[in-house]
Each structure stands twice: as C-alpha cells, then as structure tokens.
Structure 1
Amino acid sequence: MGQPDRRGLPTGSGSAAARDAVDTALWRMMSFYDVPLADLDAARAADDGWCLPHLMHAGFLLSLTEPALVPEAAAQLQAAEDRLRPDTPERERAHHAALQQVLEGRWAQAGRLWDQLLQEHPRDALALQWAHLWDFYRGDASQLRARPARVLPEWEAGDPLYPCVLGLYAFGLEENHEYAAAEDIGRQALAADPRVPWAVHAVAHVMEMQGRFDDGSAWLRQQQGQWAEGNGFAVHLWWHKALFRLEAMDLAGVLRLVDKHLSGDALQVTLNRVDAAAMLWRLHLHGTDVAERCAQLAAGWDLDPAHAGHYAFNDLHAVLALLAADDVARAEHWVARCAQRALAADDVRRDNHAMAREVGLPLMRGMLALARGDADGAVDALYPARQQAQRFGGSHAQRDLIDQTLLAAAARGQRRALGRALLNERRMAKPATPLTRHWIEQLGDGEMARA
C-alpha cells in the first residue's frame, strides 16, 4: 500500500527508504548536484515494484537530449509500465503518459499532460521540472513564466525545493523580459539556499540582456564556490562567463575560458558541447582561428548520421562546430540527413521535426551559405528564420548567435542596411557595449559610431 511523500503527494510505495531516495534524486535533478541515478538505484533496491524510480530514470535520460540514450530511456519506461498496478496513483500514471509522449516526440502534448497534473498537484516538483525543461526545449517563453507562477502560491517557503521553484520562476520572468522581477526572485531563491544554480543562471541572464557584462562577471565570480564544482550546470555557467567577456570584446579572455572550462573532459553530454560550439562559433565570426579546437569538439560529438535530426537546436550547433573546423562537406551531409528525417512521413507530426523544417533547416542552410562565402545568401536564409527562432528552443542569449551571424554576414556582403537595423534594435534593448560597437565599426557606419 503506497504512502504519501513528504509533500503529501500520493505514491505507489510503502517503503520510506524508497521514498526518501526518490526525494534525494528529485533534489539532484532540480539542483544539478551530481546525477540522480545512484539514488534511483537505491529506491529500486528498497522497493523493486515501484514504477516511479524507473519513470524518473527515463525522464532524466530523455532530458539530456542525447539520441544514443533513447533506447535505455525506452527500456526504463517499459519497466515502469510493467510495474503499473491497479492501486498505482493516477499521478504516477500521468507521469508515465507524459513521458511516453516525450519519447514519441510530442513534447507539447507532454506539457499539456503535466499541466493537468500540476492543477491537481501543484507541489509536484517533478512535473514542474520536466515541463519547464521541455518548455525551454520548445522555446515556449510564456509557459516558462506562467507554469511556475500557477503553482508557487501553493508552496511553503520552508520546503527544501521551494528555492528551486523560485529559480525556475526567475528564469521564466527573464525570458519574458521582466528583468527587475527576475533578478529579485533569483536573489530571493539564493538567499533561501545558495545551492540553486538555476537562480544564479537566471540573474546572469538578466545581466546579459541588460548589457551589464562587468556586473555579470562579478556575479558569477561571487557565486562560483557553489556552482563550479560537482554541479552539472557548471559548463553552462562558464559559457555565461565567457559570454560576458565576449560582450567586453576580451577575445583572449574568452579563449582562456573555452580552453579551461569548455573543452576536453568538461564536455560530458551534448548540451555541454552545444555551449562549446556556440562560443567557438562566436569567436570564429570575429576572425579567431578555432579550427583545431572545433575539429576536436566534433571528434567527441555523437555525429552518427542515424542520430541526425533528433533535436534541431543541437543539430545546428553540430553544424557550427563542423563549419568552424572547415569541414563543410561533413556539415552539408549532416544537414541533408536532418532534412531527410524532418520530412519523413512518420516524423512530420512530431514537435521537433516541425521545428527542424520551419526553423532549424533554414538556419543551418544560412550558416552553410556563409561558410561558402555567400554572405547575402546567408542573410536571405537567416533573417526570415530569425522571426520565428523562439520556436527553435533555447534562451534569448543562446539565440543571439543568429543575430551575431547576421551581423557578420551583413558586414561581409551587401546588406549593410539590415545590419544597421539589427544594431538599432540592439541599442534600443541595452547600452552600446564594446561588442555592439565592434559590429558598428565592421559595418562601417560612421554616423552610428558617433551616436
């Protein structure tokens, strides 16, 4: 007979040891301190008939967006299904149904199922965490803010996971341009518990969006003792630190951070490699020779052609690594495989493949055009895709890579007027940083440079 967990949520386990192990695993998933697999093993050892540890194992693997991990995730999901019993709570059945949708590529439908679950159980942090991640992967900024907002009043401030929920809300506020509120909520989360890297991350995003690159570097340095060691979010926060140095046009500083924290053994999963590729591509746009580094990055990437098209956001960054390594032929082949999968009859209704067809492939083709020396062709492909790039996933800061590439293409080709328009938009959003002034100079706009 199942007993409630420490938040009063129904579970299918009567083992306190199993429930405690699952709660620890949940904290690890929300805080990124180590991976939850050992805790889930402990939960299974304490109660082998409980489906939830298998569901959490499957969801964790799927959340890494690694195509090579999908078979293991499917096996864990099947193991969970095998353990569904007549008395299994509807809450756990709902998690199973949502993860099945994720496995099949119907991410928006999974989000709808988790939303229904959160209406009944607003303190189901597992549902909130997973929905938030796939909202992020789908670029659904509205839900990134609204979903945590719908549940936060139901939480008690003393709950150990409450600061993590605040961190999710802070990031959602930032992605909806509510910067003052986002910074305030992020700081509140860290005052309650300094071990909430998602909140550190949210405040760093605010500072990036406001052009506060020196503040941002100082902020990450102040918090570094909490996130830099033993935390799965460390690579991404080092990426943010490099982004602040790039905004200051300290290219040598960016390269030092890349070599120390965004290369080699630090890159354990594709999400880490995406950060490395994104930063190396930005350096490449500024004329820094990163070909050897990108070749090493691509050598450690899962670029099995059978895995092309798994997630469009990652696919684009794989292309960037190949292009900056001057491996244009292989990049073209990867794009062709992505297109083949996105247009396959059995995939066209899946969320990621719609994203790939309508956003990912045009972006990749624009990057290929730039690599071939066709700057105006790159603009023709990239600029229309930019208008719907949010659907592509990631954050505003990550998608700024599109604008950086457009500015480089405008500076190299005949589309100077577009470059000026993009810079005008940028200057209205935040102060003219050294990076912005660099692009003004590259575009040769004397009047704008004097403004």
Structure 2
Amino acid sequence: MASLDLRGNPVGSGSAAARDAAESALWRMMSFYDTPVADLDVAIDADPGWVLPHLMKAGWLLALTDPAEVGNAATALDEARARLGSATARERAHLEALQLVLDGRWHNACRRWDDLLLEHPRDALALQWSHQWDLHRGDAAGLRMRPARSLPDWDADDPLHPHVLGLYAFGLEECNLYPQAEEAARQALQADRRVPWAVHAVAHVLEMQGRHDEGSAWLRLHQHDWADGNHFASHLWWHKALFRVEAMDCAGVLRLIDGHLGAETLTTTPQRVDAAAMLWRLHLVGEDVSARALALADGWAAADDEPGYYAFNDLHRVTALLAAGELARAERWVARCAERALAMDDARRVNHTMAREVGLPLMRAFLAFARGEVDNAAEILYPARMAARGIGGSHAQRDLIDQTLLAAAVQGRRRTLGRALLNERLMAKPATALTRHWASRLGLPREARA
C-alpha cells in the first residue's frame, strides 16, 4: 500500500527517513536554498527502490535548460524507470511528464502536469515544474491559472504554501495584474520571509510599473535572506542591476556584474543568460563591455557548445558574442541553431517551432544590428517583438528586444518608430534616465522626455 507525503499525495516509499529527506529536497527545489542533490541521495540510501528521488533529480537538472545536464537527467530517468515496480500512479505520471520534457515536448509535459494537478492539487512538484516550463514557453496564462486552481486546496499552515503563493504572484505579474501580484507576494513573505520567488515577483512589479527606486530599496530590504546560499541570488542581483540601468548608473551596474555576474563566478546556463542580458544592455548605451563579454562567451563555450536546445538561451549567447565583438563566432552559432531548428528529426520539439518562428528571426536581427545594418534590424525586430513571448522568459527579460530596437532606430532612419516605442513606454511608466537617453538620441524635444 502506498504511503502519503505531508500533503496527502501518494508516494511509493514506506520509509519515513526517505520521505523526510525527499521533503527537504522539495523545499530546496522551491526555495532555491542550496541544491536538492544531497537530500535526494539520503532518500535514495534510505529506500533504494523508491522512484521519486530519481525523478526529482531529473526534473531539477532539466529545469536548468542546460544541454550539458541532459545526459545526467536522462540517466536519472533511466534509474527511475528501473524502479517502477513500487511506483504510484502519481509517480508514473511525473515520469511521463519528465520524459516529455526530455523529448522536447514541453507543451505535452505541462498538459500531463495539468491532469495530475486535477487529481492532486497539493502536488508541489507538479506546480513547481509546470511553472518553470510555463516560463520557458512564455505561457503567462499558465503561470497564473495553474497555481490559482490549486491554492484554495492548500492548508495555509503548510510550509510550502508561501512558495506556491510566490508562484501565483509571479503569474499575476506576467499577466499584468500588478496590484494583485504585489499583494500575493507580500502575503507570502509575511508567512515566510525566505521565499525568493515572492521577492522576485515584487521586483518584477516594481520594474514594470517604473518604480525603480522602490525596486532597489525592496531588494536591499530582503537582501540578507536571498543573497547568501541561494541559487536565485544571481537573478536577483540581475534585477538590482536592471534598476540601475534605468537610472543610467552604468558604473553601478558594472560593479554588480563584477561582484555577482562575472564570468568566473557563473556555473549554470541561467546565470550566464542573466550576465549576457546585462552586458548587452550596457553595450547598447555605449559602454565598452567587450572584455567582460568575451570572458563570458569563452566560459560559456567551455561549459557547453551545443546550440539549438532552447532558443531563449541561444539568443543570449549571441548577445554575449556580439558585445565581445565576435561577429563571426555569432554568425556560426546562429547557423548551427538554424541547422538544428530545421532538422526533421526535431520536428516534435517545442524548440523547433520556437526557434524557427521567433528565435532565429531575432538572432538574425541582432546580427544585422551588429553589422551596422540597423534599418534591416529594425524591420525584423518591429514585427518580431509582438511574437517574442513565444521565446519564453519574462516581460522584463524580453525587454532587451525593445532596447535593441530603440538602438537600431536612433542609429538609422526609423526614427518615427523609435518615437512610437518611447511613447508606448511613457504611457506604461514614468520616464527614467534610460528613457531620456533614448529620447535625446532621437532628438525629441525636452517636453517629450518628461
């Protein structure tokens, strides 16, 4: 007979020690405090025949969107498959969903987790993993609706409840429901101040509303909880740098990069993506970041040289190369991405469509911009920005597309397009030093920069 975890979900282990270790690993996966690997190894030692710890290892590795970890994730899934004899239906469903992720069929995986959550709304793993792949797919509705369908069934005293509330807050923010998002995130942090996803959700709200001074103060207020021993820290340092970019405090941004996003400190693909995104923003406003970008690009190539796994990451790899002045290397990277995206044996993969329809046009536009073909870059970027959600990531992350389009507009003949983009920006949030920078470059009258 199956045992139950702390939320009443069936698990295929009768070992309390194994279940406790898996619960600790689950908290680490949702809170980002340290990695879950040590706890999962304890769970495996306590019950060698239990499938779930191996599934959790696979899911944690796959969520990194790092091609270098795909083989390790596949091995973990093989280990899980060898232990299906005592697995529950719920655990088998997780195996099916993770195999779909491994196969590149991310939409199908999220639908499988949807089905699982209808039966087990307190399945934190299904909520965590579907949320991550909703973000990777740019599915803002899924980010909001899936936690919303589950939260009323959760006990508010559950230690993981604040973390699920943090997921919901971020989903609300990505659906432009900013007051509700901020309220949900602050509620999560009242229950448990160690919920980086909730800190992150408020940072996004403040960014989207143009409350940049508040954003810096917000991250500083909670910094003692997220800055040390947390794998979300590098992304929150990125957010801190983003607020400084809006103030055109380029020296401050460079200090943050050197302290927290330098090439020598980065160990995962998401961290390298953040570093590339920040260096590219500085490059666009005229900062010489070539040495830092080259170190990042070289370190990235040493860790992983497989293109075409995830178009969002590929685009950022291109920005690192271009900011480093490595145009030829960037062109070769894009060509390899195109070759994989157009390969027939990858037709089932989400990234096949994502790269072909969104990623490759964006990367080619960035190449055109780097070659000085700024009007051509603008012609591609202007329609592509409307489909950019399909490449994944958040609104704040995808803003580097608009920033590049603005740079192309001010350098070329599409100045009316640049003015329209600034109008759009000013209708959404107050003017910042960065907005005024672009307005000045466009030669707009002072009253248009307010």
Q: What TM-score results when the alignment is normalised by the length of structure 1?
A: 0.98
What secondary structure does 1:34 align onto?
coil
Q: Does 1:200 align with 2:187?
A: no
Shift of 1:449: 3.0
Provide the rounded CA distance (Å) in 1 between the counterparts of 2:389 and 2:158. Answer: 33
Residue equivalent to 1:277? 276
Shift of 1:305: 8.2
Q: Does 1:58 align with 2:58?
A: yes
Q: Does 1:113 align with 2:112?
A: yes
Residue equivalent to 1:4? 4
Shift of 1:303: 6.2
Residue equivalent to 1:178? 177
Any idea what the Cα deviations from partners look like across 1:237-265, whole Å, max 9, x if unmatched?
Answer: 00000000111111111111111111144
Residue equivalent to 1:238? 237
Asked if the contact 2:25–2:37 (Cα under 8 Å) also holds between the matched residues in 1, the reply is yes
Q: Counterpart amino acid of 2:366?
A: M
Pairs within 5 Å for 1:11-26: 11-26=11-26
Shift of 1:299: 1.3
What secondary structure does 1:38 align onto?
helix
Q: Does 1:395 align with 2:394?
A: yes
Q: Counterpart amino acid of 2:275?
A: A
Any idea what the Cα deviations from partners look like across 1:27-63, whole Å, max 9, x if unmatched?
Answer: 0000000000000100000000011000000111100
Q: Counterpart amino acid of 1:243?
A: L
What secondary structure does 1:300 align onto?
helix
Provide the rounded CA distance (Å) in 1 between the counterparts of 2:303 and 2:327. Answer: 16
Shift of 1:426: 0.6
Q: Does 1:268 align with 2:263?
A: no
Provide the rounded CA distance (Å) in 1 between the counterparts of 2:31 and 2:72. Answer: 23
Provide the rounded CA distance (Å) in 2 between the counterparts of 1:316 and 1:448. Answer: 36
Provide the rounded CA distance (Å) in 1 between the counterparts of 2:435 and 2:447. Answer: 11
Q: Does 1:213 align with 2:212?
A: yes
Provide the rounded CA distance (Å) in 1 between the counterparts of 2:148 and 2:365. Answer: 37
Provide the rounded CA distance (Å) in 2 between the counterparts of 1:409 and 1:303. Answer: 31
CA RMSD for the aligned pairs? 1.1
Provide the rounded CA distance (Å) in 2 between the counterparts of 1:282 and 1:352. Answer: 25
Residue equivalent to 1:416? 415
Provide the rounded CA distance (Å) in 2 between the counterparts of 1:305 and 1:45. Answer: 31
Residue equivalent to 2:376? 377
Asked if the contact 1:297–1:321 (Cα under 8 Å) also holds between the matched residues in 2, the reply is yes
Shift of 1:266: 2.9
Q: Does 1:28 align with 2:25?
A: no
Q: Which moved more, 1:296-305 or 1:26-35?
A: 296-305
Shift of 1:15: 0.3
Q: Counterpart amino acid of 2:320?
A: A
Any idea what the Cα deviations from partners look like across 1:204-255, whole Å, max 9, x if unmatched?
Answer: 0000001111000000000000000000000000000000011111111111
Shift of 1:431: 0.9
Any idea what the Cα deviations from partners look like across 1:392-418, whole Å, max 9, x if unmatched?
Answer: 100000000000000000000000011
Residue equivalent to 2:74? 74
Asked if the contact 1:117–1:127 (Cα under 8 Å) also holds between the matched residues in 2, the reply is yes
- The verdict on how the C-alpha distance between 1:450 and 1:321 changes in structure 2, with shifts beyond 3 A counting, is closer
Q: Does 1:130 align with 2:129?
A: yes
What secondary structure does 2:48 align onto?
coil
Residue equivalent to 1:353? 352
Shift of 1:349: 2.3
Asked if the contact 1:305–1:334 (Cα under 8 Å) also holds between the matched residues in 2, the reply is no
Provide the rounded CA distance (Å) in 2 between the counterparts of 1:321 and 1:420. Answer: 27
How many residues are paired up? 450
Q: Which moved more, 1:135-144 or 1:258-267?
A: 258-267
Provide the rounded CA distance (Å) in 1 between the counterparts of 2:280 and 2:99. Answer: 35
Provide the rounded CA distance (Å) in 1 between the counterparts of 2:82 and 2:249. Answer: 55
Q: Counterpart amino acid of 1:208?
A: E
Provide the rounded CA distance (Å) in 2 between the counterparts of 1:265 and 1:195. Answer: 27
Residue equivalent to 1:255? 254
Structure 1: state its 5+ residue gaps. none
- The verdict on how the C-alpha distance between 1:303 and 1:418 changes in structure 2, with shifts beyond 3 A counting, is farther
Shift of 1:2: 3.0
Shift of 1:10: 0.3
Residue equivalent to 2:83? 83
Residue equivalent to 2:226? 227
Residue equivalent to 1:404? 403
What secondary structure does 1:211 align onto?
coil
Shift of 1:382: 1.3
Residue equivalent to 2:43? 43
Q: Counterpart amino acid of 1:197?
A: P
Asked if the contact 2:68–2:303 (Cα under 8 Å) also holds between the matched residues in 1, the reply is no
Asked if the contact 2:272–2:300 (Cα under 8 Å) also holds between the matched residues in 1, the reply is yes
Provide the rounded CA distance (Å) in 2 between the counterparts of 1:160 and 1:19. Answer: 15
Q: What TM-score results when the alignment is normalised by the length of structure 2?
A: 0.98
Asked if the contact 1:440–1:448 (Cα under 8 Å) also holds between the matched residues in 2, the reply is no
Residue equivalent to 1:339? 338
Provide the rounded CA distance (Å) in 1 between the counterparts of 2:447 and 2:200. Answer: 33
Any idea what the Cα deviations from partners look like across 1:330-356, whole Å, max 9, x if unmatched?
Answer: 000000000000000011221112100
Asked if the contact 1:366–1:382 (Cα under 8 Å) also holds between the matched residues in 2, the reply is yes
